[in-house]
Chains A and B, each alone.
Chain A
Amino acid sequence: MERRGTRIALGVWVALVLLFLYVPIAVICLYAFNSSNVQSWPIAGLTTKWFSPAIHNGDMQDALKLSLEAAALATSVALVLGTAASFGVHRFRFFGRESISFLLVLPIALPGIITGMALNSYFAFWKMNFGLWTIVIGHATFCVVVVYNNVIARLRRVPGSLTEASMDLGAGGVQTFRYVTFPTISTALISGALLAFALSFDEVIVTTFTAGAQNTLPIWIFGQIRLGQQLPQVNAVVFLILAVTIIPVAIAQRLTRESGILRTE
C-alpha cells in the first residue's frame, strides 16, 4: 500500500537503527581481542592473550562467585514468591486484586537508586550484616515480578476446562497439579527463572547499596572501568559475559512460545 519510495526509505531506516543497536556490541567484542593494552581504534592486532589472565584473576573470580550465588538464590526466592502470587491472583477474584500487580511491579517502576537506598537504610536499621543475603533480598524484590508476569501470562492462556476435566475424571488436587497444571506452566517457570537470573546477574544500582564492601561481577567491572585499571582484562570478561548471557535469554525466548498441549497450530 505504501509507495515504493516510502518502503525503501523505511527499510534503510530499519537498517540504520539496527546498525546503531549492534555496532557498540561488535566494538566491545573486538576490543576483547585487542593485542595492545591501549584502548584506541583501530585495534592494533588480534590476540587471545587477555583471556587467560582475566579468567585467573582472583578478584574477578570472587566477584563472579558472589554474583552466581546471589543470582541463584534471588531466582529461587523469586520462583517461590512469584509463582505463589500468580496462582493467588489468577485463581481467586477479590477486592484489591489489581493492587497486587502494582505492588510487585513497583521495584521495577521506581528508579533503582530509590530501592537501593531504602533497603540500605532498612538493613542498617535492623543491624544486618551487608553481604550475600542483603544482595539476595535486594535482587529478589525486582526478580519476583519477572516470574510473576511469565507465569500469570501462561495461566491466563490455559483454559480452565483442562483442570476441570482432570478433576471430573477423578484426579485429586495434587494429581491435577502434577499432571496437568505443572506441565502447562513449566516452560513459563524456566523462562521466568532464566530472565530473573540474567536480571540479577547484571544489576549494578541496587547492588551498590546492598553489597557492603563486597564486589559482585558488575560492581567489579564498574570499579575497574572507572579507575581505568586492567582494561584489557575487563574487555575479555565483558566479552565472556555477553557470550554467556545471550544463551539463557535465547532459550527463554524460545520457551515462551506456545508448546506442548497449548500448541495451536
Chain B
Amino acid sequence: MKGLSLLVPPVGAFLAVYIAALVALFVSAFWTVDAFTGETVHTWTLDNFRELWHGATYHTVALRTISIAAAVTVTDAILAFPFAYFMARLAGPRMRGVLFVLVMLPLWASYLARVYAWRLILNSHGLLNWSLHKLGLPSAGIAYTNTAMWIVYSYIWLPFMILPVYAALERIPHSYIEASRDLGAKGSRTLRTVVLPLALPGVVAGSIFTFSLTLGDYITPVLIGGPSSQFIGNVVYDSALGSSNLPFAAAFALVPVLVMGIYLMIARRLGAFEAL
C-alpha cells in the first residue's frame, strides 16, 4: 500500500500536533485556573461557561461580534452580486480575466497594510473628511467606531464574496435565461425567479468566508475600533495571553466555533458546498 505510506507523514503530523492541540484546548475549557497560584486546576467544571452565561459584558461582546459579522456579510453580498454578474454575463473573456486578477490581487496584499490604510483614511484629518469638506459636507466622526469596523471588514473580505458568486453565476446555462424570456418573463422576473435562486449557493459559500473571518478576527478592533469595539477575539486574546486564563479563553473561543458549526449546517442545506 504505497498510497497509505505517502499519507502517513502529513496525516500523522496533523494528528500529533494540530488535532491533539485542538482537543487539548477544548478539554481545557472545562478546567479552571487557581486564583492564587495561577496554575491550571485539572478538575471538571462548568464554571467558565457559567461565567459566560451570566456575564452581561460577554453577551454584549458576542452580540457585537455576531451582528457586525452579519452586517459585513450582507454588505459584501450586495456589493458583490452586480460585480460578479457583470463579470460572468457581460464582460468578454479578456475583460473577465483582467477583473479576476484585479479582485484576487488585494487578497494577497498585506492584511495589516490594508487595515492600516483605512486608519489613515478615516482619521479626523484623513482622506474621507478632506473629501467631505471639499464637497461642502460636515466631517464624519467615524474613526475608531463600530461603523469604521463594519467598513473595514466589508473591504477586506469582499474578494472572498465576489469569487464564489461569480463562479455560481458563470455556471448558469445561457439557455435557462433564454427560456425564461421566451416564456414571457421580463428582465426583473428572470433575475428574481431564475438567476437569483441559482446564484444563492454562491452567495452562501462566500458568506461562509466573510462571516467566519470576521468572527475570529481581533486585529481590526485593535487598530480601527474604539474603546467599546471589543470582539470575542479580543477577550479571548486578553484572557489567554494577558491574564493567562487559558481555560476561560478556550470556553469563550467555543462560541464562534459553535456559531460557525450551526452556520455551516445551514449552508450545507442551501447547497453552498457544491458552489465552493
Q: How far is the CA of A9 from the CA of B218 in the complex (A)?
A: 37
Please give the number of chain B residues whose Cβ is less than 8 angstroms from any Cβ of chain A in the complex.
81
A-side contacts of B101, CB under 8 Å:
253
Bound: A242/B249 CA distance, A: 34
Chain A contacts for B270, CB-based, 8 A: none
Contact of A24 with B24 at beta-carbon distance under 8 Å, contacts A14-B82, A204-B112 already known = no
The listed residue (A2, A24, A112) touching B89 by CB distance below 8 A is A2
Given contacts A82-B10, A121-B25, whether A242 and B109 have CB atoms under 8 Å apart is: yes
Stretch at the interface among A48-56, A88-96, A153-161, A185-193: A88-96
| Chain B positions within 8 Å of A222 at CB level | 112, 219, 223
Q: Within 8 Å of chain B (Cβ to Cβ): is A37? A: no
Contact, CB under 8 Å: B187 / A204: no
Say what secondary structure dominates the interface of chain A: helix
Is the beta-carbon distance between B83 and A118 smaller than 8 angstroms? no
**In A60-92, which residues have CB < 8 Å from any B CB?**
80-82, 84-85, 87-89, 91-92
Min C-beta distance of A185 to chain B, whole Å: 14
Q: Does A113 lie within 8 Å of B233, measured CB to CB?
A: yes
Residue contact A113 to B85, C-beta cutoff 8 Å: no
Known: A88-B6, A92-B3, A222-B219. A111 touches B233 (CB 8 A): yes
Contact check, A113 vs B237: say whether CB atoms are below 8 A apart.
yes
B28 contacts which chain A residues (CB < 8 A)?
A: 121
Q: Which residues of A contact B110 (CB under 8 A)?
A: 202, 218, 238, 241-242, 245
Q: Does A261 reach chain B (CB closer than 8 Å)?
A: no
Q: Are B21 and A119 in contact (CB under 8 A)?
A: yes
* Contact residues in B for A169 (Cβ distance below 8 Å): none
B79: A residues at CB distance < 8 A: 17, 20
Residues in A whose Cβ lies below 8 Å from that of B123? 39-40
- Range of interface residues on A (Cβ < 8 Å): 35 or more
Known contacts A84-B6, A238-B110, A245-B110; A40 and B126 CB within 8 A of each other:
yes
Interface string of B107-138 (1 = CB under 8 A from A): 01111111011111101011100100000000
| Residues of chain A in range 92-126 having any CB-CB distance to chain B below 8 Å | 92, 94, 100, 103-104, 106-107, 109-115, 117-122, 125
| B13 with A81: CB separation less than 8 A | yes
Q: Are A205 and B218 in contact (CB under 8 A)?
A: yes
Please indicate the chain B residues that have their CB under 8 angstroms from the CB of A89 in the complex.
7
Considering only residues 67-121 of chain B, those with a C-beta below 8 Å from chain A are: 79-80, 82-83, 85-87, 89-90, 99, 101-106, 108-114, 116-121
- Among B17, B108, B159, B187, point to the contact of A246 (Cβ < 8 A): B108
A42 to chain B, nearest CB (A): 7
- Please list the 8 inter-chain residue pairs (A to B) with the smallest Cβ-Cβ separation, ordered nearest first: A111-B216, A92-B3, A40-B125, A122-B21, A88-B7, A24-B117, A88-B6, A118-B21
**27 pairs, CB–CB < 8 Å, chain A vs chain B:** A1-B181, A2-B89, A10-B85, A11-B86, A23-B121, A28-B120, A31-B120, A38-B125, A41-B130, A92-B4, A104-B10, A106-B18, A111-B213, A117-B246, A117-B249, A118-B22, A122-B17, A141-B17, A205-B216, A205-B217, A208-B237, A218-B112, A225-B112, A226-B223, A241-B113, A246-B105, A253-B101
Known: A87-B3, A198-B108, A202-B110. 5 other contacts (CB 8 A): A21-B102, A25-B117, A84-B9, A114-B257, A121-B25
